[in-house]
Structure 1
Amino acid sequence: MRPPLRTVALLAAAVTLVTGCSSGDDWSRPRPRPTAIGTLGPGFIDPAAPPAPEETVTPRPGSWSGVRPSKGYRVVLLTMGDDRPTRALVTAVKDWAEDEHVDLRTVVADDGHDLVPSITRALEMGPDLIVSAGNDLVDPLALVTPSHLSQQFLVVGAELAEPTHNVTAVDWSGASFRGEGLGMSSTYDPDSFTGERCAAAIRAGVAAVLNDLTGIVIWLDRH
């Protein structure tokens, strides 16, 4: 027995809606390269002397606030750890993504054995940017990122000791974990991971990446 025509029509409409939502979330589809909306304010860098790779810059507070990503910016938040600083960074990234209508997905490393595999999972998603939050990811990123130079990474609240040009970091004296057996900085202070500073970290870092100021360390001690 055939279903009533009205039932068929409703089913077809439901399939169309589901298909539409899925296609909108499909990162495998090609699209234009994301761009920066807005411009960096005075004092972010010295335009007459752009920073060299691995250089540290200390931008004027708020000089990044006029920059946001274009619509549909695809970001993977890569995270490991449940300590208070990591939770503060994760919250800041998620709040920023919601405010700026960023297409955000999250990859969580389950344990120490899952660190490199978690980076691989993030890479396979093909995002515009991978944002890392959590000190445990620093050494695995140092291992993996030189082999994926076309993928942009942003490390918030820590930095790589010798970053390649595709790894940008946002750090401050209360954070400044660098991995590679260097141990925790003597100035490390979990209380420095305030909501305000973590929010500044993600916004300043993304503003730099969108303006092709990559491979540098952005220092926020003036914030």
Structure 2
Amino acid sequence: MHRLLLPAALSVTAVLLTGCGAGDDWSVARPMPSAVGRVDLGFIDPSDPPAPEATVTPSPGSWSAVRPAEGTRVVLLTAGDDRPTRTLVSAVREWAEGEGVDLRTVTAADDTDLLPAVTRATDLHPDLVISAGEDLIDPLATVTANHLGQQFLVVGAELAEPTENVTAADWTGASFRGEGLGASSAYDAASFTPARCAAAVRAGTAAVLTGNTGIVLWMDDYA
């Protein structure tokens, strides 16, 4: 079950990570990623905590005060070169650069490399794996349940049955759940705007950093 932090406990002390940055040793896994700041009450209703796999609609900007601790290690896992995927990738990179995140990228070369790419990402022992690209959903469904100690954020899609370590930031027009499962809304490439993708990355990372994992954040309020 995901861990819901109540408002009084949402303030998270910054953790200064020794030796973080581009030269950090990624060979050893670390505990849950840490955050600086707290989410507002409109992010998740503490009087009605979401169940695992639930979909919640955070108030716009309710995540804006949350930042990753300096040197947080993130792997951007990506596949495909379509415009929606490129927009998601740009949003992740801009977030990482702006927040001082230690970012590495793992790109699937082709369809046969999808599952190996997910494995390469987890083998790096990052604090968080952020996935961008619909082709990765089925491989993620295979891998994530066997790596419960690794946090994943899926942006612009979702897993049909996510485990507690998989959080998604999704919206109408971007809710692919895997081959044969369809989507909870019709796919619309135009819905992948820079503003919505950026908001989804920030809201999704805020959820993971504050321990609100295993849920779907619905991001329809951004154009």
TM-score range, shorter chain: 0.7 to 0.9
* Alignment gaps of 5+ in structure 1: 1-19
Structure 1 residue 33, shift from structure 2 partner: 5.3
Counterpart Cα distance in 1 of 2:107 and 2:29: 26
Q: Is residue 47 of structure 1 aligned with residue 46 of structure 2?
A: yes
Judge which range, 187-196 or 20-29, deviates more.
Answer: 20-29
Could you tell me how far apart the structure 2 residues matched to 1:76 and 1:24 are?
15
What is the distance in 2 between the residues matched to 1:213 and 1:86? 25
Contiguous gaps of at least 5 residues in structure 2: 1-18
The alignment status of 1:212 with 2:211, answered yes or no, reads: yes
Choose between structure 1 and 2: higher helix proportion.
1
- The CA RMSD over aligned residues, in Å, is 2.0
Residue 185 of structure 1 and its aligned partner are, at CA, apart by 5.6
> How many residue pairs end up in the alignment?
204
TM-score (norm 2): 0.86
Q: Secondary structure of the equivalent of 1:169?
A: strand
In 2, Cα distance between the equivalents of 1:35 and 1:159?
Answer: 23
Secondary structure of the residue aligned to 2:85 is helix
Q: Secondary structure at the match of 1:25?
A: coil
Whole-angstrom CA distance in 2 between matches of 1:98 and 1:73: 11
The CA deviation string for residues 99-130 of structure 1, in whole angstroms up to 9 with x for no partner, is 00000000000011101100111111000000
Aligned to 1:120: 119
Is 1:38–2:9 an aligned residue pair? no
- Structure 1: which amino acid aligns with 2:68? P
Partner of 2:144: 145
The structural deviation recorded for 1:23 is 8.3
Q: Kindly indicate whether the alpha-carbon contact (under 8 Å) linking 2:21 and 2:102 is maintained by their aligned counterparts in 1.
A: no
Q: Which residue of 2 aligns with 1:130?
A: 129
**Change in 2 beyond 3 A, CA 1:154/1:211:** same
Alignment partner of 1:79 is 2:94: no
* Percent of paired sites with the same residue: 69
Q: Which deviates the most, 128-137 or 42-51?
A: 42-51
1:177 counterpart SS class? coil
User: How big is the shift at 1:222?
Assistant: 2.4
Does the CA contact (< 8 Å) of 2:204 and 2:217 recur in 1?
yes
Q: 1 CA distance for matches of 2:30 and 2:215?
A: 27
Aligned CA distance change for structure 1 residues 81 and 30 (closer, same or farther; 3 Å): closer
Q: Secondary structure at the match of 1:24?
A: coil
Equivalent residue letter for 1:137 = L
Note the alpha carbon deviations across 1:66-90, whole angstroms, 9 max, x for none: 1010011000000000000000000
Deviation for aligned residue 1:186: 5.2
The CA distance in 2 between the partners of 1:62 and 1:204, in whole Å, is: 8
- 2:90 matches 1:59: no
After TM superposition, the structure 1 = structure 2 runs for residues 60-209 of structure 1, keeping only pairs within 5 Å, are 60-183=59-182, 187-209=186-208
Alpha-carbon distance in structure 1 between the residues aligned to 2:219 and 2:22: 39
Inter-CA distance 177–30: structure 2 relative to 1 (3 Å threshold): closer
Q: Do 1:161 and 1:180's aligned partners in 2 also have CA atoms closer than 8 Å?
A: no
Deviation of 1:32 (Å): 7.2
The Cα shift of 1:25 comes to: 3.0
- Please tell me whether Structure 1 or Structure 2 has the larger radius of gyration of its CA atoms: 1
d(CA) in 2 for partners of 1:194 and 1:148? 31
> Are the structure 2 counterparts of residues 21 and 162 from structure 1 closer, same or farther at C-alpha, using a change threshold of 3 Å?
closer
8 Å CA contact 1:107–1:122 kept in 2: the answer is yes
**Distance in 2 between residues matched to 1:23 and 1:91, nearest whole Å:** 19
Is the 8 Å Cα contact of residues 174 and 187 (structure 2) preserved in structure 1? yes
Please give the alpha-carbon distance, in whole angstroms, between the structure 2 residues aligned to 1:167 and 1:42.
22
CA distance in 2, matches of 1:96, 1:22: 15
DSSP-derived class of the 1:65 partner:
coil
Larger deviation, residues 195-204 vs 26-35: 26-35
